[in-house]
Structure 1
Amino acid sequence: MSRVLIIESSARQQDSVSRQLTQRFISQWKAAHPADTITVRDLAVNPVPHLDANLLGGWMKPQEQRNTQELEALARSNQLTDEVLAADVLVLAAPMYNFAIPSTLKAWLDHVLRAGVTFKYTETGPQGLLIGKRAIVLTARGGIYAGSASDHQEPYLRQVMGFIGIHDVTFIHAEGLNMGRDFHDKGLNQAIARLAEVA
């Protein structure tokens, strides 16, 4: 039995293509893996604060020196990190906003990329600690960017996942969604076909 953690980051609820892909993924994954557990964290419904002094204090100060805000920030980071540590499969649903990921997803990443917890520094450089996990990234894009210099999603997320030790990363792009009906349908159908293979 595997544990799947899904991170939703689209600001849109209805008409969100990344959410459509997520729902299709869930139904297909459940059909193929009925014993698995799936947890969904929706960063639009429950946004994570951006990295601030309270979170840094919660991480870095001795226990007795932390104030109430720092303790709360640390507890939130611990909860988010524990979810990632417990997961076997991590699914990131990431629409492209201004050539990159939503700021809500970046804020979540800032909470879970933690020295000594999800990675560590060694004499030979940083080492990821989440070995053996798998990640699936579902993107929705108005244009066609895969493999181009304008794609700041996939290279960034590959680097971030690798940094914490997740090297088995599959990207499924729904592209051309705002380029007319033909491009929209083609991009969405291609993503749906890839989803079926992955699930």
Structure 2
Amino acid sequence: MSIKEEITSIVSLPEASFKEKGSLFIGKAFPIETEDEFETKLLAFKKEYYDATHHCFAYKLKDDQFRYSDAGEPNGTAGIRIYNAIEHFNLYDVGVIVVRYFGGTKLGVGPLGKAYYKSAEEVLASAVKVIKKPFKKIAITTGFDYISTIHHYLPLFNAVIVNVDYSNVVSFIVEINSSSTKKLRELLIEATNGNVELSESEEIFYRTI
């Protein structure tokens, strides 16, 4: 997975609905982090709107993985249009589901595509958006004489202390923006005269800033 410097996602669970020639369109958006998480949401959505004619959707993850479905609508009229709305807002880690209750009048391919795009666009426009940056965990081990030094430098990088263990040495587990790890390492080695060890996790996760 390519590491993006930041991504935009959503934190709210917005809903929007409107009617077009008798058909009712209901759209919902929600934050996700995995395909399995989306599938769970989709299953719950189908149970909630079990009597809807179509359950169309699209999602996109931080690793650029995406999927969309017309769910029985004419090819290219629903899923891709919902995905286009996600792309319009340049969002990641987001899923959008739009259900349609058929109103008895066929809309035609063009108007149908516009209706699905409108539903997705409106629900995403109303969503509360957040910026997320890549973080990783670092284990910092040092002597008791340098505890105050560690506490001095960590806030400069907006690092969050997850755990501290006091035994023969002091071990910190911190979360820090992945782009800051090199600079933090250099400063701590200099400030402690080399009396510090830093071990970085390979795992990258995104957190709201």
Q: Indicate whether the TM-score tops 0.5.
A: no
TM range (shorter): under 0.3
Q: Which TM-score applies when normalising by structure 1?
A: 0.24
Structure having the higher helix fraction is 1
Q: Which has the larger radius of gyration?
A: 2
